[in-house]
Amino acid sequence: MKTMWAPWRMAYILGEKENECIFCQALSENDDLTLCKGDVTMVIMNKFPYINGHLLVAPVRHLSSLDQLNQNEMVDLMSFLDKSVSILKKVMKPEGFNIGLNLGRVAGAGVEEHLHFHIVPRWFGDVNSLAVFADVRVIPEHLKTTYNNLKEHFNKL
């Protein structure tokens, strides 16, 4: 049996679970994961990503389902999804993307009370099937490095 070490996961496993909504918290402070705060939509990096560049796109308003979005929010969310993908293509050059929305805990929503989309860049040969088979993720670049590479592009939005 081979062992793969992922010591960064211990911060998540043993860490204190946040009571406050991570998206609302990101709006109220300057942190090193928030890439863009618009009037209607925000983009933040996933603190525990599947792979580098794993972004979360959420409405500013704290709501939990698609039917609560107004038309402006729906359009703005889709626009920021598109802009985020464009920035990731430019900076990280992925060969594909998984883009998804998990509605409800049973569907995999880690933060079910605040609607958010996941954008997960993909490359041929990335090894993130390990998450399925071994509960291990291989993240080749430090989170702060990814943030620094993306932030200047989101500042232009």
Range of the domain at 47: 19-155
Higher pLDDT, 110 or 55: 55
pLDDT of 1 > 60? The answer is no
Give the pLDDT score at 132. Answer: 46
Residue 92 is inside which H or E element, if any?
A: helix 71-92
Residue 132 lies in a domain: yes
Residue 107 lies in a domain: yes
- Total structural domains in the chain? 1
Alpha-carbon gap, residue 119 to 84, rounded angstroms = 8
Give the pLDDT score at 16. Answer: 73
pLDDT-derived band at 133, boundaries 50, 70, 90 = very low
The pLDDT tens digits of the residues spanning 140-152 come to: 678 888 888 899 9
Residue 82 lies in a domain: yes
Residue 104 lies in a domain: yes
Identity of residue 156? K
Residue 2 lies in a domain: no
Residue 122 lies in a domain: yes
pTM equals: 0.75
Residue 132 phi/psi, 5-degree rounding, is: -75, -45
The pLDDT tens digits of the residues spanning 61-78 come to: 999 999 999 999 999 999
Mean pLDDT of 78-107: 94
The pLDDT tens digits of the residues spanning 2-53 come to: 555 666 667 766 777 667 888 888 887 777 889 999 999 999 999 888 888 9
Sign of the four-CA dihedral 113, 24, 45, 57: positive
Higher pLDDT, 110 or 113: 113
pLDDT of 130 > 70? The answer is no
Residue 77 lies in a domain: yes
Higher pLDDT, 26 or 90: 90
Alpha-carbon gap, residue 14 to 123, rounded angstroms = 30
The CATH number of residue 88's host domain is 3.30.428.10
Catalytic residue (choose from 114, 116, 118, 153): 116
Mean pLDDT of 114-132: 78
Identity of residue 94? P
118 is catalytic: no
Give the pLDDT score at 8. Answer: 65
